[in-house]
């Protein structure tokens, strides 16, 4: 089964129900990242809380996060990849019931095999999903209950970090509105380590003067995978402009030129 991956890896699933009885929340973040070495053991925890007013069960299970150039990221329980932590990571439990207000540490252990021959970033996702409430009080009428499923990313950098080479796989310019353009970029990580990267677009007029600088939020680009970025260009008079597109991962810069025409 595959699910689309949203920016914060948090999903809202809506069901017809009588009322919201419990809410399982994650207290210590949706990304856990470690630096380690071959043959080492890592232990971590996901801090959970039942923030509702009734008893509720949660289930925990692993899925691989897959990336394809030109496509949306997906979660998969059946498909894998060569840098998966799925077989190396074990959780303390698969499910548990929490009473109202109760906090619980879901612990996990990662064993990095000694025969691992490729350094770089490895990753997996632990899904935290509320189960059916233990009890339910019927009421007349129909209300909407939201159940929140969290995807907690677990990443491990094995070996000494090396800043990866980044390349522009594809750059497209689309008309989003009459006077606006959308720059769509596929950025590929050619290295072995995941790295957070942001894009910056500098726009110059016909006289070579810089008139606008636009930036994206940084996002993680995984090794040998692509991430998709979008930059909206608006509020420019009609004309032709030169653009310089720069990818910045904090250590290295890579640039590309493009022409932007506003009709």
Query: What are 162-202's pLDDT values in tens digits?
Result: 999 999 999 999 887 777 889 999 999 999 999 999 999 99
Q: Which of 114, 136, 158 marks a domain boundary? A: 158
Same domain, yes or no: 217 and 90: no
Same domain, yes or no: 206 and 119: no
Same domain, yes or no: 150 and 234: no
Q: What is the CATH number of the domain that holds 150?
A: 2.60.40.10
pLDDT of residue 232: 93
Same domain, yes or no: 180 and 107: no
Q: What is the pLDDT of residues 174-183, one digit of tens each?
A: 887 777 889 9
Q: Residue length, the chain?
A: 263
The total number of structural domains that make up the chain: 2
Same domain, yes or no: 132 and 7: yes
What dihedral do alpha carbons 207, 212, 213, 216 form, nearest 10°?
A: -130
Host domain of residue 100: 2-158
Same domain, yes or no: 22 and 54: yes
* E strands present in the chain: 2-4, 10-17, 24-26, 31-36, 41-50, 56-66, 74-76, 89-91, 95-98, 103-111, 120-130, 143-158, 166-177, 180-189, 195-204, 210-215, 219-221, 226-233, 239-248, 253-262
| C-alpha distance across the termini of the chain, in Å | 44
Q: Which of 158, 183, 199 marks a domain boundary? A: 158
pLDDT of residue 250: 87
Find, among 199, 229, 58, the residue nearest to 129 by Cα: 58
pLDDT of residue 141: 52
Q: Which residues of the chain have pLDDT under 70?
A: 1-22, 132-147
Same domain, yes or no: 222 and 145: no
Same domain, yes or no: 14 and 136: yes
Same domain, yes or no: 20 and 85: yes
Same domain, yes or no: 44 and 87: yes
Please list, residue by residue across 110-148, b when 16 or more beta carbons sit within 10 angstroms of its beta carbon and e when fewer do.
Answer: bebeeeeeebbbbbbbbbbbbeebeeeeeeeeeeeeebb
Q: What is the pLDDT of residues 135-149, one digit of tens each?
A: 444 444 544 455 678
What dihedral do alpha carbons 25, 92, 195, 119 form, nearest 10°?
A: 180
Cα distances (angstroms) measured from residue 89 to each of 35, 38, 42? 15, 14, 9
Tokens of 57: 């069960």
Same domain, yes or no: 65 and 82: yes
Q: Which of 103, 133, 158 marks a domain boundary? A: 158
The model scores a pTM over 0.85: no
Same domain, yes or no: 96 and 17: yes
């Amino acid at each position: 089964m595959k699910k689309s991956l949203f920016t914060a890896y948090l999903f809202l699933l809506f069901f017809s129900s009588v009322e919201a009885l419990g809410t399982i929340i994650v207290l210590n973040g949706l990304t856990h990242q470690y630096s380690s070495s071959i043959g080492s053991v890592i232990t971590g925890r996901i801090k959970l809380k039942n923030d509702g007013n009734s008893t509720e069960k949660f289930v925990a299970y692993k899925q691989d996060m897959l990336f394809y150039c030109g496509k949306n990221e997906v979660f998969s329980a059946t498909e894998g990849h060569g840098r998966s932590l799925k077989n190396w990571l074990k959780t303390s439990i698969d499910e548990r019931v929490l009473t109202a207000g109760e906090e619980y540490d879901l612990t996990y252990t990662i064993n990095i095999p000694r025969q691992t021959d490729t350094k770089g970033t490895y990753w997996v996702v632990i899904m935290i999903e509320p189960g059916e409430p233990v009890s339910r009080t019927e009421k007349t009428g129909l209300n909407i209950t939201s159940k929140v499923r969290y995807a907690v990313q677990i990443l491990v950098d094995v070996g000494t970090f090396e800043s990866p080479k980044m390349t522009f796989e594809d750059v497209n310019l689309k008309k989003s509105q009459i006077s606006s353009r959308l720059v769509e970029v596929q950025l590929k990580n050619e290295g072995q380590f995941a790295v957070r990267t942001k894009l910056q677009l500098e726009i110059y007029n016909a006289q070579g003067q810089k008139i606008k600088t636009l930036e994206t939020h940084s996002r993680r680009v995984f090794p040998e995978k692509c991430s998709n970025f979008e930059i909206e260009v608006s509020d420019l008079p009609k004309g032709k402009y030169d653009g310089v597109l720069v990818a910045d991962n904090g250590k290295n810069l890579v640039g590309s030129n493009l022409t932007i025409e506003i009709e």
